[in-house]
């Protein structure tokens, strides 16, 4: 007779209508970070009905589920993120967002539904479970400092102590039924830079009596383009993208100050520490050359996410055991986007993998954070099965 976990793909297929219904309910009512009240109520209700012990109100809107197994052993965790984005959805499907200016455009509705699906599979396989499984539904992945740190501070990695953690994220660049996985660095650090150019205001007709902060900002921006293209080791990835600029009040007034914000991303901590110094050197040097001043402050965001090699092998081995129904794509390259799961990965061995939910249809071709983002929900079947199977197969070091 097959053990239940060998059959997880079929079981996940059976509960697919439920996963889809949860995903759509969450999608209709997107909630921003630390405001996930409806979402966490739904999560708590489903877990409770499935026989999990539920702890709600963790770090605000976080929810923790615990399933003690039938045999002694370690505690293994699966993490989901529940928050949406401040974005106006442009899709017109039946389950489109009901909330103006809020949208699940990153697929966290899918990530949450997929872990609820895994919760059902695991509850059904409890007699085979050694140790316990903890489900961590965190608030606020999208905005630093983020919900992962808050959940860790609230003690979710203790009582029982979590030995390892995994997470899946829906990914429309991979087809349904495929998971994408990679050991080592998988996502970049993401820090925010704030640059102020201080000049001296004056009449637009009298440039010689002022220091034009807008003209200097233009030079600083142009010079910062040399940083990644000319100074940075080409084999050590880094991104510096300046996303906002503001300053000036009237067409004929020379602006005294310009504010610039940008994002700085790296895969190595060494680069992450070095680049702000280089940005400051260029900005200050260029500003000074034009009689202005530049001030740089860096808001530290998430560090780079590094997958543990043994945990990554564990995910691959477990996925392979699912009756050959899950394709495994070993990813060769990391992404320069950020992910606050990194805070868990810095404390316990972890693996973050991608769950294929794309297809040839145009509606699944939009990138994360696009107002028309959507994914093929059938991808949740493989996602739930791989999460549950990896959790059941876990053997402590
Ligand atoms: Zn996102
Ligand atoms: Zn995301």
Q: How far is the CA of 169 from the centre of ligand 2 (A)?
A: 7
pLDDT at 6: 65
Which ligand is closest in space to the CA of residue 352?
A: 2
Nearest to 283 by CA among 293, 273, 271: 293
Q: How far apart are CA 199 and CA 291, in angstroms?
A: 8
pLDDT per residue, tens digit, the chain (397 aa), is 446 666 899 999 999 999 999 999 999 999 999 999 999 999 999 999 999 999 999 999 999 999 998 888 999 999 999 999 999 999 999 999 999 999 999 999 999 999 999 999 999 999 999 999 999 999 999 988 899 999 999 999 999 999 999 999 999 999 999 999 999 999 999 999 999 999 999 999 999 999 999 999 999 999 999 999 999 999 999 999 999 999 999 999 999 999 999 999 999 999 999 999 999 999 999 999 999 999 999 999 999 999 999 999 999 999 999 977 899 999 999 999 999 999 999 999 999 999 999 988 999 999 999 999 999 999 999 999 999 999 999 988 7
Q: How far is the CA of 107 from the centre of ligand 2 (A)?
A: 6
pLDDT at 5: 61
Specify burial of residue 9 (Cβ count, 10 A radius: 0-12, 13-18, 19+).
Answer: buried
Q: How far is the CA of 338 from the centre of ligand 1 (A)?
A: 8
Dihedral through CA 280, CA 283, CA 284, CA 285, nearest 10?
120
Distances (CA, A) of 171 to 200, 234, 243, 354: 48, 27, 24, 6
HSE of 378 in the Cβ direction (CA atoms, 13 Å)?
Answer: 10
Nearest to 179 by CA among 9, 346, 343: 9
Catalytic residues: 83, 141
Residue boundaries of the structural domains of the chain: 4-186+305-393, 189-302
Structure tokens at 88: 């106006």
**Do 189-302 and 4-186+305-393 fall under one CATH topology?**
no
Which ligand is closest in space to the CA of residue 190?
A: 1
Q: How far is the CA of 126 from the centre of ligand 1 (A)?
A: 33
**Fold of the 4-186+305-393 domain:** Aminopeptidase (3.40.630)
Q: How far is the CA of 376 from the centre of ligand 1 (A)?
A: 17
The domain 189-302 is classified under which CATH number: 3.40.120.10, 1.10.150.120, 2.40.30.10, 3.30.70.360?
Answer: 3.30.70.360
Q: CB count, 10 Å around CB of 125?
A: 23
Which ligand is closest in space to the CA of residue 168?
A: 2
Q: CB count, 10 Å around CB of 386?
A: 30
Q: How far is the CA of 248 from the centre of ligand 1 (A)?
A: 32
pLDDT at 92: 96
Which ligand is closest in space to the CA of residue 138?
A: 2
Question: Which are the contacts of 145, defined by CB distance < 8 A and separation ≥ 6?
Answer: 301
């Amino acid at each position: 007779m097959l053990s239940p976990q060998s059959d997880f793909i079929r079981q996940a297929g059976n509960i697919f209508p439920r996963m889809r219904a949860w995903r759509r309910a969450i999608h209709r009512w997107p909630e921003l970070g630390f405001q996930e009240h409806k979402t966490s109520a739904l999560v708590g209700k489903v877990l409770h009905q499935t026989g999990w012990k539920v702890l709600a109100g963790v770090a605000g809107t976080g929810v923790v589920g615990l399933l003690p197994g039938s045999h002694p052993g370690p505690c293994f965790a699966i993490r989901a993120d529940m928050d949406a984005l401040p974005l106006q959805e442009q899709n017109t499907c039946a389950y489109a967002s009901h909330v103006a200016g809020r949208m699940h455009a990153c697929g966290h509705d899918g990530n949450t539904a997929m872990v609820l699906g895994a919760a059902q599979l695991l509850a059904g396989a409890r007699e085979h479970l050694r140790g316990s499984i903890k489900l961590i539904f965190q608030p606020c992945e999208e905005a630093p400092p983020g919900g992962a740190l808050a959940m860790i501070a609230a003690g979710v990695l203790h009582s029982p102590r979590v030995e390892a953690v995994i997470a899946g994220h829906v990914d429309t660049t991979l087809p349904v039924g495929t998971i994408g996985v990679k050991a080592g660095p998988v996502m970049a650090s993401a820090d925010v830079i704030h640059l102020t150019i201080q000049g001296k205001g004056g009449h637009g007709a009298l440039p010689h009596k002022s220091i034009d902060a807008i003209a200097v900002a233009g030079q600083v921006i142009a010079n910062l383009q040399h940083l990644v293209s000319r100074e940075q080791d080409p084999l050590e990835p880094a991104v510096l993208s300046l996303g906002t600029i503001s300053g000036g009040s009237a067409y004929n007034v020379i602006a005294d100050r310009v504010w610039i914000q940008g994002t700085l991303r790296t895969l190595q901590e060494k680069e992450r520490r070095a680049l702000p110094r280089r940005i400051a050197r260029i900005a200050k040097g260029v500003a000074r050359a034009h009689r202005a001043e530049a001030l740089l402050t860096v808001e530290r965001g998430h560090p780079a996410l590094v997958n543990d090699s043994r945990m990554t092998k564990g995910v691959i081995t477990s996925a392979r055991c699912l009756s050959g129904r899950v394709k495994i794509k070993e990813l060769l390259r990391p992404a320069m986007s950020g992910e606050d799961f990194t805070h868990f990965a810095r404390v316990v061995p972890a693996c973050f993998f991608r769950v294929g939910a794309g297809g040839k249809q145009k509606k699944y071709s939009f990138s994360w954070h696009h107002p028309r983002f959507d994914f093929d929900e059938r991808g949740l079947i493989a996602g739930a099965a791989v999460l549950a199977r990896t959790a059941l197969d876990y053997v402590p070091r």
